[in-house]
Structure 1
Amino acid sequence: MRDVGKEAEKVISNLKEQKGFLRLKTNQIRKFLSAVNTMTNRVNAYKASHIQATDMPDELAGEIRFLKVKAAYQSGRDRTVEEFMKACKMEDWIDGIGTSIKKFEEFSRYMEALVAYHKYYGGKD
């Protein structure tokens, strides 16, 4: 299993070192985290009714892939968000999920860790 906390801390720490400060505002990434949390609730509801499932249906996986569109929108609105999305390899993470529930859960924890370390390392409010 990946150490998503360590990966997230490294991304945020590197961004801070490169720029000297974190220009990205917490609310800018929390909007994306909110979309991820919505999908987490949907995946958890699916898991509750399909206890043995390791994969999610294509429809749910498609909605998760749509997170790339939300990331692109946020990135297009603000170049600091684009910088962040590239640094944390957001598209690669989303593409890597496929239909795997486990991979989605790792991705969700990674997003939570990114927000937490952003705040810890002094990201703007």
Structure 2
Amino acid sequence: MRINESTYVDKAEKVIINLAEESKKKNRGKVNIVTTSKIRNLLAMTADIYNQVVTSSKETLSEELNGRVEYLRVRFMYECGREPKVREFVQKAEILEILKEIKQSKKNYLLFSKYMEALIAFHRYYGGEDE
């Protein structure tokens, strides 16, 4: 996967720093990136699946859960189409690619969930705003 237990936090921080710096250049020093509420909506979709994955005793995702992960990818793409700032965020964070790499692995999905949480934490720390 593009992330692992020892790299996901640093990767999340780099993504948000990069987005904030690019935004400052475009907006005369003001950070104007995807809003916290938009990211939280993405996390909420992720957390819904997380709650079922974490309670599963198997190391591979069931067909139903795997289908939900695939649908999550569709929802992320939809949100990207609706909002250019979401698209930029999802592309820089490589979220769609990471979702593809889960490949029915419980461990990979749990790691993806942590990565999403890290992105939100750094977004808040580096100046992301609420809508």
Same fold per TM (> 0.5)? yes
Q: Return the letter of the residue paired with 2:121.
A: A
TM-score (norm 2): 0.87
Partner of 1:54 in structure 2? 59
What's the Cα RMSD here?
1.1
1:2 to partner: Cα distance: 3.8
Instruction: Output the CA distance in 1 between the equivalents of 2:33 and 2:53.
Output: 32
Please state how far the C-alpha of 1:118 moved relative to its aligned partner. Answer: 0.4
* Contact 2:19–2:33 (Cα < 8 Å) also in 1: no
* Counterpart residue identity of residue 77, structure 1: R
Task: Name 2:51's counterpart in structure 1.
Answer: 41
Residues 1:16 and 2:30 are matched in the alignment? no
Determine the C-alpha separation between the residues in 1 that align with 2:116 and 2:98: 10
TM score, norm. by length of structure 1:
0.91
Give me the whole-angstrom Cα distance separating, in 2, the residues matched to 1:80 and 1:63.
24
Select the structure with the greater relative contact order (CA < 8 A; seq sep ≥ 6): 1
**Alignment partners' CA distance in 2, 1:123 and 1:63:** 28
The residue number in structure 2 matching 1:112 is: 117
1:66 partner SS? helix
Percent identical across equivalent pairs?
35
Q: 4+ residue stretches of structure 1 with deviation over 4 A?
A: none
- Segments of 5+ residues of structure 2 without an aligned counterpart are 25-30
Q: Displacement, 1:3? A: 2.1
What is the Cα deviation at residue 94 of structure 1? Answer: 0.3
Partner of 1:90: 95
